[in-house]
């Protein structure tokens, strides 16, 4: 193994030695604790320390690194106290996630580290968002993100690199190729000869290096990071190494041929670097044991101190409160004047005003820039705000959603348009497991609004017509809104953008050009979580939202002799239980109406809650009127039959007759 000192002095080389020995000794202590039964799980990076340590030492302290579960050296090279790391691994209060997540699944702004989630790959898109924020802010910084050879088969890997390449983002994508994804060999993972060859397909530079050579890793990352800070662009690095322990200790290594252990033992990054320093007369042989004797007591003390920390005392209210970043909607000066606006124009108005109010707000979506979006919501925005803030994206929803989280981590807001709400399914993991959980896990809010053009009525068929709000209303950490009027479309969108939490904003395509109403001028906000009583009544209550409000109003107009209370929820997560309960108590009869399919639709949650809270006030069973439990057909007749409105009169008659 050839080591190149270049311009590193002896003190620096010795400091590098201490930096690589420290995580090795910590790991050896963890394996002892595991055998003793004092810890329950460990993902070992023994044999791979040169990658974590060398790359981290090459990055500037204020540059973000996104490591994985085998990168202890990243955390130690950033000087995170072992006490806090051990507390994190043991779920103690002195850790970084309040006992809510395991191992390295955490982030810390103080040390500029953003940990992974168990779904390998999503952190790569987050890195692109962090880098994008640096570019937009004019900061000459690089971002480093790790992935494994197995995760390069995932869509997130390809989407993130493609976005970074198209946008010239200063990201170093580092692959740790250690030969195995759990027990699956690289030969079963990909067909290309080298993973770094994939760089050519994305038009970026790629390098394959010896991942066990500390100085080669350091010099390569240092050189590239220095360059891409000045000339932003992504690069792909493949670090060749070997995993000498199991995927985690319980899985063992019986599937690995024995000769590989002997081959790679000779390439051990710690002992090889140690021998190099000795050969070069930089390190005295006696200093090896001296370094170990210096570090081991410190490790023992820090570990024991963390193990002796008391268990976290569970508190229900604390857990509930921490799902969201606390936020109070600032009162806006509302102009008393209003103007008739179409539903779609009200949405455009909200976006335009918010872009002016928040200079660090970025819009992202397919065809939203020069073309103005398929529904022309952002028509003209690029001319006013520029391409940097109104960004056309490649067809890669998952990467863009992950980039939204990265932007939030690095101080920006974003509004991401799904061209159709149906298409959000390919970015589901980023929303459900990354955006929704980041604040609860480590206190990082996801300041992201996802616009969802939804709903039927236009003959668009099964893949452009779903009202899929129930996919998200059961996920803590998300807020979900669904306006039914132009005024609420504006007010809820401005409130969603002001809110630092992730908000799923449903907008009904059928209403874009068919509904016009008065909309307040200037800044206008509707509080998320507050319902609106659309009409007062005493005979029956209809609880609804979205297009269902129009159906309810049409029904009430057709039957003027009925006194109907119509409650527009407007927000579905959180939803206004108090307003719904008051409506039930007032009339004793309630119909829950929504466009989504009946089975497991959000109406089931409403009905269950009202059954628990209002049983003594009911004069009839709570009834639901929803769309058929089928996919949405294209044919006009079939679509009409599918929609809940086709059964509204029947269900109301049944309810009133009871």
Q: Are 182 and 228 in contact (CB under 8 A)?
A: no
Q: How far apart are the first and last CA of the chain?
A: 85
From 439, 464, 508, 594, the catalytic residue? 464
Count Cα neighbours of 257 within 13 Å in the Cβ-side half-sphere.
Answer: 6
Give the H/E segment covering residue 214: helix 214-230
- The owner of tokens 């509302």 is 334
Task: Assess whether 110 carries a catalytic annotation.
Answer: no
Q: Are 435 and 477 in contact (CB under 8 A)?
A: yes
Q: Is 650 exposed, middle or buried (0-12, 13-18, 19+ CB in 10 A)?
A: exposed
Q: Are 590 and 497 in contact (CB under 8 A)?
A: no
Helices (H), 588-647: 602-614, 636-642
Residue 391 pairs with which residues in a beta bridge?
A: 364
Alpha carbons 387 and 383: distance in angstroms, whole number? 8
Q: Helix or strand or coil: residue 163?
A: helix
Residue 619, token pair as written in the block = 């004069």
Count of residues in the chain: 658
Q: Are 390 and 368 in contact (CB under 8 A)?
A: yes
Residue 289 pairs with which residues in a beta bridge?
A: none
Give the H/E segment covering residue 275: helix 269-279
Q: Is 561 exposed, middle or buried (0-12, 13-18, 19+ CB in 10 A)?
A: exposed
Residue 628, token pair as written in the block = 């058929």
Which of 254, 319, 219 shows the shortest CA–CA distance to 13? 219
Q: Which residues are catalytic?
A: 464
């Amino acid at each position: 193994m050839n080591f190149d000192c270049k311009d590193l002095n002896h003190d620096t080389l010795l400091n590098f030695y201490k930096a690589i020995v420290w995580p090795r000794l910590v790991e050896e202590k963890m394996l002892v604790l595991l055998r003793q039964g004092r810890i329950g799980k460990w993902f070992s990076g023994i044999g791979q320390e040169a990658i974590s340590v060398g790359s981290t030492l090459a990055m500037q302290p204020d540059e973000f690194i996104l490591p994985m579960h085998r990168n202890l050296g990243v955390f130690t090279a950033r000087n995170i106290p072992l006490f806090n790391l051990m507390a994190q691994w043991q779920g103690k209060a002195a850790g970084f996630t309040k006992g809510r997540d395991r191992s390295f699944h955490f982030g810390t702004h103080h040390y500029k580290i953003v940990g992974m989630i168990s779904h390998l790959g999503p952190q790569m898109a987050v890195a692109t968002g962090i880098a994008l924020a640096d570019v937009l802010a004019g900061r000459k910084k690089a971002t480093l993100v790790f992935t494994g050879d197995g995760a390069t088969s995932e869509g997130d890997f390809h989407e993130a690199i493609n976005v970074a390449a198209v946008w010239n983002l200063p990201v170093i994508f580092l692959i740790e190729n250690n030969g195995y994804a759990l027990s699956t060999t690289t030969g079963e993972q990909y067909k290309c000869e080298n993973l770094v060859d994939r760089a050519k397909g994305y038009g970026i530079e790629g390098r394959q290096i010896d991942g066990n050579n500390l100085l080669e890793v350091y010099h390569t990352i240092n050189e590239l990071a220095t360059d891409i800070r000045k000339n932003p662009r992504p690069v792909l690095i493949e670090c060749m190494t070997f995993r000498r322990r199991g995927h985690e200790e319980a899985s063992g290594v019986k599937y690995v041929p024995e000769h590989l252990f002997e081959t790679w033992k000779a390439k051990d990054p710690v002992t090889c670097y140690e021998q190099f320093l000795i050969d070069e007369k930089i390190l005295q042989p006696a200093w090896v044991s001296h370094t170990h004797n210096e570090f081991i007591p410190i490790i023992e003390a820090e570990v024991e101190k963390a193990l002796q920390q008391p268990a976290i005392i569970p508190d229900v209210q604390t857990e509930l409160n921490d799902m969201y970043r606390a936020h109070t909607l600032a009162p806006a000066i509302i102009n008393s004047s209003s103007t008739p606006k179409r539903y779609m124009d009200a949405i455009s108005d909200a976006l335009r005003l918010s872009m002016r109010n928040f200079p660090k707000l970025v819009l992202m979506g397919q065809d939203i820039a020069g073309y103005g979006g398929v529904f022309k919501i952002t028509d003209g925005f690029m001319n006013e705000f520029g391409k940097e803030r109104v960004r056309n994206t490649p067809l890669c929803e998952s990467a863009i959603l992950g980039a939204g989280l990265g932007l939030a981590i690095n101080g920006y807001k974003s509004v991401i348009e799904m061209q159709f709400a149906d298409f959000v399914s390919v970015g589901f993991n980023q929303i459900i497991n990354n955006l929704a959980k980041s604040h609860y896990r480590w206190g990082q809010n996801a300041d992201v609004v996802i616009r969802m053009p939804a709903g039927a009525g236009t003959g668009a068929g099964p893949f452009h017509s779903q009202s899929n709000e129930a996919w998200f209303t059961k996920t803590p950490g998300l807020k979900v809104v669904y306006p039914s009027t132009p005024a609420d479309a504006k007010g809820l969108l401005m409130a969603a953008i002001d809110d630092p939490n992730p908000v799923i904003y449903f907008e009904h395509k059928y209403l874009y050009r068919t509904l016009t109403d008065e909309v307040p001028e200037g800044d206008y906000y509707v509080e998320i979580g507050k319902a609106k009583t659309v009409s007062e009544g005493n005979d029956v209550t209809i609880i609804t939202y979205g297009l269902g409000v129009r159906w309810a109003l049409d029904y009430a107009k057709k039957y003027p002799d009925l006194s109907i209370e119509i409650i527009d929820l407007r927000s579905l997560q959180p939803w206004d239980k108090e307003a719904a309960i008051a409506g039930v108590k007032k009339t004793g009869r309630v119909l829950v109406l929504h466009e989504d399919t009946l089975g497991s639709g959000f109406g089931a949650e409403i009905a269950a809650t009202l059954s628990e809270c209002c049983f003594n006030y009911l004069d009839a069973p709570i009834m639901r009127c929803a769309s058929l439990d089928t996919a949405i057909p294209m044919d006009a007749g079939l679509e009409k039959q599918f929609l809940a409105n086709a059964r509204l009169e029947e269900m109301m008659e049944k309810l009133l007759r009871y």
